Amino acid sequence: MTLTVGPLTLTPPVFLAPLAGITDMPFRTLVSGFGAGLVVSEMVASQEMVQAKPGVREKAELGFGVANTAVQLAGREAHWMAEAARQVEANGATLIDINMGCPAKKVTSASGAGASGSALMKDLDHALTLIEAVVGAVSIPVTLKTRLGWDDNMLNAAELARRAEGAGVQMITIHGRTRCQFYKGMADWAAIRGVKDAVSVPVIANGDIVDTKSARTALDRSGADGVMVGRGAQGKPWLLAQIAADLFGGAAPEVPTGTAFSDMVSGHYEAILTFYGRELGLKVARKHLGWYMDVAGTGPHLRRAILTAKTPQEVLALLPDALSQHPQERDAA
């Protein structure tokens, strides 16, 4: 099964969600290597990006020109959103995603990043000015990621989606929670059906999709055209490809076990160190190593030794023993 977004063909319709501090270039590259229809960059604040005049490193982080990668922009002012969109297109981006779903207080608060992210759902007229500005600034496809609404008294995702489609947005991803829910409770996939019924562009279901079973249920309840996986991929970069094979056919990924699992994690660890540099890389890598050890069922002694190691050499020497067991968490078909 494929999705068409402008001139782009996104196959399979199983996408990696943007996660701040997690879906950086090394992780997106690893997930793409197993197979994903689309990976989305971490959210980029439009005004800060334009004023900082990004250089080579920033371009590498966003994945300009990398196949099946969307650059996600956030902001509150149409001028800065349009300028950032022009900038990323000029640097080779093939798809822009607009963030109107982030629930973080520093993003939604007027005293933070300017009441952006999911706060824009409280003022759809203003939200549309941002969408129109981005669509009008570029020739590449523009998509939108949002939530069901601000709270239970403001469930306006379908209205926003309908107006966004009219403004030229070519795909819409809905996280099945309101902003005020943050990540509590369970995502309401059935509520996404209202958005699907309101538009003709592809709709992607997001929220609590952690395996094939949850992906299938999300598709059935929402009627969506595809799914977006976020936290479920932590420690399991093959998960998207596994879900895609189970639901849409095609070759299943070779899930690494034993030595292959250890080698994959070591490769990801070294890619993180190369990307961030030794000092910062040691810190950034710890959360990923923790998730991999969760999957492997690593004992507490080895886990502690790896997460407190002071040098990359110590970590790499311990990983084979720590990850020697087969990953214990498997996708339930």
pLDDT of residue 333: 41
pLDDT of residue 51: 86
Gap between the Cα atoms of 313 and 333, Å rounded:
38
Contacts for 61 with CB less than 8 Å, ≥ 6 apart: 24, 25, 41, 42
pLDDT of residue 332: 40
pLDDT of residue 330: 41
Which parts of the chain have pLDDT scores under 70?
A: 53-60, 110-114, 325-333
Residue 2, both tokens: 């494929």
- For residue 74, which phi and psi values (nearest 5 degrees)? -135, 155
pLDDT of residue 113: 47
Q: Angle at CA 104, nearest 5°, toward 98 and 108?
A: 70
Indicate the pTM of the whole model: 0.92
Residue 229, both tokens: 């996986």
3-state secondary structure of 136: helix
Helix, strand and coil percent figures for the chain, each rounded to 5: 50, 15, 35
Gap between the Cα atoms of 211 and 246, Å rounded:
10
What positions carry a catalytic annotation? 102
Q: Angle at CA 281, nearest 5°, toward 75 and 269?
A: 110
